[in-house]
């Protein structure tokens, strides 16, 4: 007899790292590799966040607070809501997985757009739910009309990634509100707002106003992107107290480590710093998009910290490999759902120049 594993294991999509694992931290720290493959921030955390992590490190002999009391209270103050409506997690990915586990049985349906965030296919694979992938509309934007039309009595979860990864497009809050009106109350709608701070259509907090009208709506946010804390793994959801209780019930009590709790609780206090980070990202966005247009390349309208580039006649594999030889890591479009594209995160100005220079050489 040999060990056998659960059938669902064969369904799991697996994750491809943005840079070869093992080499990454040293090469990135030395400035060797321009890490433009994972939509991270090129800026280190706020100095007071680093101090909070250092202070907390001395108490690592203790388990973290299972209720993440300080972090949830600070988030509640920032968003003018109650801590009971905030779930925190080991990255917002963990909330996605926990939501699927808490909401879906085999036979349930999960609706999401495609191409969209590569983690979403894990949810049906893990739970045995049926996935309904709704193609993006022209312009690489969510087709909310088509998504609403896919909702049935079996739909348990509907995810809207806004701005969308990998296409960087954003649907304004007013359209999200109209969409929510059409979704019946038995469907949990997760609005994945990992990149919301980078969009300039709306106030980034505009969707918070919808929570009062739609008790089935959950906003999913993270410290991994504009706060520069991807390495610590901390994300959060704002929704109903029932949603929070459900995702907490299916996870281990200590999923957010003490360093991550301390860092998040400090980082949320520095909204001026968030604004500065967003401003410099938006400035780089304009510069990179201009550079791409000069190379004759089309992009979807980016409202995030990355561009989704249509390579036209250039070969995706050759471009990704050629950039790799120049130590510039970007994402190939094929595994993200649309061959003939690459996704590039905006790095520092110097990294972006290296990227544009490398790409220009390859297209020549």
Ligand X SMILES: Cc1ncc(COP(=O)(O)O)c(C=O)c1O
Q: Rule CB under 6 A: which residues touch ligand X?
A: 39, 91-93, 117, 161, 165, 192, 194, 222, 224, 230, 235
CB of 233 to ligand X, least distance (A): 6
CB of 97 to ligand X, least distance (A): 10
The total of other beta-carbon atoms located within 10 Å of residue 348's CB is: 14
CB of 226 to ligand X, least distance (A): 11
Q: State the DSSP string of 171-228.
A: --HHHHHHHHHHS-TTSEEEEE-TTGGG--SS-TTGGGGGGGT-TTEEEEEESSSTTS
Nearest CB to ligand X, comparing residues 193 and 314: 193
The total of other beta-carbon atoms located within 10 Å of residue 202's CB is: 16
Q: Is 278 helix (H, G, I), strand (E, B) or coil?
A: helix
What are 133's two structure tokens?
């992938």
Nearest CB to ligand X, comparing residues 165 and 303: 165
Is the Cβ–Cβ distance between 217 and 99 less than 8 Å?
A: no
Nearest CB to ligand X, comparing residues 110 and 362: 110
CB of 221 to ligand X, least distance (A): 8
For 5, list phi and psi in degrees, rounded to 5.
-110, 165
Nearest CB to ligand X, comparing residues 109 and 192: 192
22-48: buried (b, 16+ CB within 10 Å) or exposed (e) per residue? Answer: eebeebbeeeebbbbbbbbbbbebbee
Query: Among all residues, whose Cβ is closest to ligand X?
Result: 91
CB of 215 to ligand X, least distance (A): 22
Nearest CB to ligand X, comparing residues 235 and 337: 235
CB of 93 to ligand X, least distance (A): 3
CB of 263 to ligand X, least distance (A): 13
Taken as a whole, the chain contains a residue count of 364
CB of 38 to ligand X, least distance (A): 7
CB of 2 to ligand X, least distance (A): 34
Nearest CB to ligand X, comparing residues 64 and 91: 91
Which H or E element spans position 355? helix 349-363
Query: Please, which residues have CB within 8 angstroms of residue 227's CB and are 6 or more apart in sequence?
Result: 41, 45, 46, 49, 264, 267, 274, 277
Beta-strand ranges (E) seen in the chain are 34-35, 86-89, 109-114, 130-135, 155-161, 188-192, 217-222, 235-238, 298-299, 306-310, 328-329, 331-332, 341-345
Residue at token pair 């193609």: 135
What are 326's two structure tokens?
């120049």
Nearest CB to ligand X, comparing residues 251 and 362: 251
Distance CA 117, CA 192 (A): 9
Is the Cβ–Cβ distance between 256 and 75 less than 8 Å?
A: no
Nearest CB to ligand X, comparing residues 46 and 343: 343
Nearest CB to ligand X, comparing residues 179 and 236: 236
CB of 314 to ligand X, least distance (A): 25
Nearest CB to ligand X, comparing residues 199 and 222: 222
Distance CA 277, CA 346 (A): 12
């Amino acid at each position: 007899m040999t060990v056998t594993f659960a059938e669902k294991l064969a369904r799991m999509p697996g994750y491809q790292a943005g840079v070869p694992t093992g080499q990454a931290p040293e090469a990135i720290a030395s400035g060797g590799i321009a890490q433009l493959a994972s939509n991270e921030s090129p800026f280190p955390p706020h100095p007071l966040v680093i101090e909070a992590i250092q202070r907390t490190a001395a108490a690592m002999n203790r388990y973290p607070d299972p209720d993440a009391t300080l972090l949830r209270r600070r988030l509640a103050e920032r968003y003018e809501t109650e801590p009971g409506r905030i779930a925190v997690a080991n990255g917002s990915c963990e909330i996605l997985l926990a939501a699927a586990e808490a909401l879906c049985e085999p036979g349930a349906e999960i609706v999401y757009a495609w191409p969209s965030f590569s983690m979403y296919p894990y949810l049906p694979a893990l739970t045995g739910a049926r996935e309904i992938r709704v193609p993006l509309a022209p312009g690489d934007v969510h087709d909310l009309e088509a998504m609403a039309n896919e909702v049935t009595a079996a739909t348990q979860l509907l995810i809207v990634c806004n701005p969308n990864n990998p296409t960087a497009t954003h649907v304004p809050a007013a359209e999200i509100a109209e969409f929510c009106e059409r979704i019946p109350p038995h469907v949990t709608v997760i609005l994945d707002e990992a990149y919301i701070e980078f969009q300039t259509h709306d106030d980034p907090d505009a969707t918070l106003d919808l929570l009062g009208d739609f008790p089935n709506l959950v906003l999913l946010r993270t410290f991994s992107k504009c706060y520069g804390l991807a390495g610590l793994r901390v994300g959060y959801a704002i929704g109903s107290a029932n949603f929070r209780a459900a995702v907490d019930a299916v996870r281990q009590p200590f999923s957010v480590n003490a360093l991550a709790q301390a860092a998040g609780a400090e980082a949320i206090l520095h909204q001026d710093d968030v604004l500065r980070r967003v401003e410099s990202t938006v400035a780089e966005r304009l510069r990179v998009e201009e550079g791409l247009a000069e190379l004759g390349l089309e992009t979807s309208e980016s409202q995030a910290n990355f561009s989704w580039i249509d390579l036209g006649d250039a070969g995706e594999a050759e471009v990704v490999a050629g950039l790799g030889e120049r130590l510039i890591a970007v994402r190939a479009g094929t595994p993200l759902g649309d061959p003939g594209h690459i996704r590039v995160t905006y790095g520092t100005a110097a990294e972006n120049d290296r990227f544009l220079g490398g790409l220009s050489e390859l297209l020549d």
